[in-house]
Amino acid sequence: MTTTVQTFQNFIGGKWQAAREGRTFANYNPATGEVLGYFPLSSTADVDAAVASARQAFESWRLVPAPKRGQILFRVGELLSRHKEELARIMTREMGKVLKETRGDVQEGIDMAYYMAGEGRRLFGYTVPVELPNKSGMALRDPVGVVACITPWNFPIAIPTWKMFPALVAGNTIVLKPASDTPQSALRLVEILQEAGLPEGVVNLVCGSGQEVGEALIHHPAVAVISFTGSTESGRHVAVEAAQSLKRVSLEMGGKNAVIVLDDADLELAVEGILWSAYGTTGQRCTACSRLIVQRGVHDHLLEKLLPRIEQLRLGDGLDEQVDVGPVINASQLEKIHAYVEIGQGEGATLVTGGACAEGEGLTSGNFYRPTLFKDVRPEMRIAQEEIFGPVLSVIAVDTFDEAIKVNNQTPFGLSSAIYTQNINNAQRAMRDLTTGILYINSGTTGAEIQLPFGGTRGTGNGHREAGIAGLDVFTEWKVVYTDYSGKLQKAQIDS
Ligand code: NAP
């Protein structure tokens, strides 16, 4: 029996359409190698059409009252809830993480939809007293225009929603370019936005490569904002190129996140947090823990507890509810992970477990890598400094809390850190001295909630934050309005 593989289309100006040059690319299931669909391999011409449609739609969308925009997002939240299981299964087939995690990914989108629906009735600006009589002053949030959202494959629903929903409630219009490894999840999300009643042209979807579609968006004169999530290497390129036309650019990039375990920690609790943070999503989270900084007093004891748990993790197709760890996204990422393992061994770190592709029943057709643990890692080693983005954890032993803080802070990234301690003074010091954008006390490095700002320092970001109220900032322009009702010319700083 032959099954037909579906061919999908772009969404531009409210219509589904093939790429103008008629090209397509195949997308594969990383757990099985099966072709999931053919997607438009778009060109600059498709980007031009999508941006023109978004630009035109902006003129009417910006005038729709924000509470009405919020109502549409509320409906999006309802539809995402209704289709949660279907979306989770599409995502697991596309990028491999286990179903309980893809359900969580959709839940982030649902949470963001309801949160931003509420912003439709807030979008707070502010008023302040002014120095002259019979005069008022206020600051309002204006939309900026066409927003290009360029997204990665590891959170195929959540990340587009983190960008699109605040942008939309503020009155902007969108061109979404999803990662080439996860176009179908984005496509289904856009169908849901359409079903919820978004007017034509407000959201457009263009599939295709970063080199062609991404570049065309970065350089398009009518794109006002680029909201990018991906690697630090690509993000730096986006920032440099977009600077030529002074576009606003928000960058969410890589991480080298650490769990710190002090001598006074609850080790049972720490083991659970480390396992989840290091090997959940197969280590392919921007917030994944890839460094374990352990005080020497508990080092050996912690590893004794951790090692069997790592070796018990079940690998397989994420659609199987019994599986703990799914595949790596693609063959080139698998090669990159293994290359880092060889680098680690070459640098003198001790490979404790893993360090090879996984073999066995159900694993031969997919990109599976064994959960890996290194010990005797020094902070300056490449495996302790560079983002690997896979199931590889490096253990660094330290003598003191001061040394742990120093090691934590000395990487080119600054996204998420975690500390396990039962001592309130240590916890308070960690809050003050760890220089990451997110800190967890007595929990792992992953698990952000949408009502608080998300992002990091150094090579992780460029100062913007997603989510929470801070997530509105890049999508709005402050406009200040003074009204003088004195009936005469009053000069600020001169007549006051
Ligand atoms: P990536 O290779 O940088 O790709 C991200 C997106 O950028 C994709 O849509 C990609 O398109 C596009 N792109 C690539 N080159 C481009 C170019 N020259 N111009 C414009 N767009 C371009 O990253 P990834 O492998 O998908 O994602 C993993 C990375 O994302 C990790 O570093 C991870 O830490 C980071 N991440 C960060 C956060 C955060 O919030 N800080 C969250 C999640 C992930 P193609 O897919 O077509 O190549």
**Cα 230 to averaged position of ligand 1 atoms, centre (Å):** 3
Residue nearest to atom 13 of ligand 1 (CA): 210
**Cα 307 to averaged position of ligand 1 atoms, centre (Å):** 32
For residue 232, give the ligand 1 atom closest to its CA.
32
Q: Which residue's structure tokens are 């495996």?
A: 383
pLDDT of residue 496: 85
Average of pLDDT values for 356-380?
A: 96
Q: How confident is the model at residue 287 (pLDDT cuts 50, 70, 90)?
A: very high
The answer to whether 155 and 87 are in contact (CB under 8 A) is no
**Cα 150 to averaged position of ligand 1 atoms, centre (Å):** 7
pLDDT tens for residues 97-150? 999 999 999 999 999 999 999 999 999 999 999 999 999 999 999 999 999 999
Dihedral (Cα; 360, 365, 369, 370), 10-degree rounding: -10
Question: Which of 46, 286, 465, when mutated, tests ligand 1's pocket best, judged by the most ligand atoms within 8 Å of its CB?
Answer: 286
Residue 213 pLDDT more than 80? yes
The CA distance from 178 to 204, in Å, is 11
pLDDT of residue 1: 52
Q: How confident is the model at residue 305 (pLDDT cuts 50, 70, 90)?
A: very high
Residue nearest to atom 35 of ligand 1 (CA): 230
For residue 178, give the ligand 1 atom closest to its CA.
9
**Cα 160 to averaged position of ligand 1 atoms, centre (Å):** 12
Residue nearest to atom 30 of ligand 1 (CA): 230
pLDDT of residue 2: 59
Residue nearest to atom 20 of ligand 1 (CA): 214
CA angle 489, 495, 496 (to 5 degrees): 125
The CA distance from 199 to 13, in Å, is 9
pLDDT tens for residues 18-28? 999 999 999 99
**Cα 178 to averaged position of ligand 1 atoms, centre (Å):** 9
**Cα 430 to averaged position of ligand 1 atoms, centre (Å):** 30
Closest by CA position to 284, among listed 165, 148, 179? 179
pLDDT tens for residues 47-99? 999 999 999 999 999 999 999 999 999 999 999 999 999 999 999 999 999 99
Residues with CB under 6 Å of ligand 1 are: 150-155, 177, 179-180, 209-211, 214-215, 218, 229-231, 234, 237-238, 252-255, 286, 387, 389, 415, 460
Question: Which of 231, 329, 446, when mutated, tests ligand 1's pocket best, judged by the most ligand atoms within 8 Å of its CB?
Answer: 231
The CA distance from 212 to 25, in Å, is 13
Closest by CA position to 102, among listed 229, 281, 273, 277? 281
Q: How confident is the model at residue 410 (pLDDT cuts 50, 70, 90)?
A: very high
Residue nearest to atom 1 of ligand 1 (CA): 230
Average of pLDDT values for 226-246?
A: 96
pLDDT tens for residues 427-452? 999 999 999 999 999 999 999 999 99
Query: What positions carry a catalytic annotation?
Result: 252, 286
Question: Which of 94, 229, 250, when mutated, tests ligand 1's pocket best, judged by the most ligand atoms within 8 Å of its CB?
Answer: 229
Q: How far apart are the first and last CA of the chain?
A: 85
Closest by CA position to 332, among listed 390, 281, 286? 390
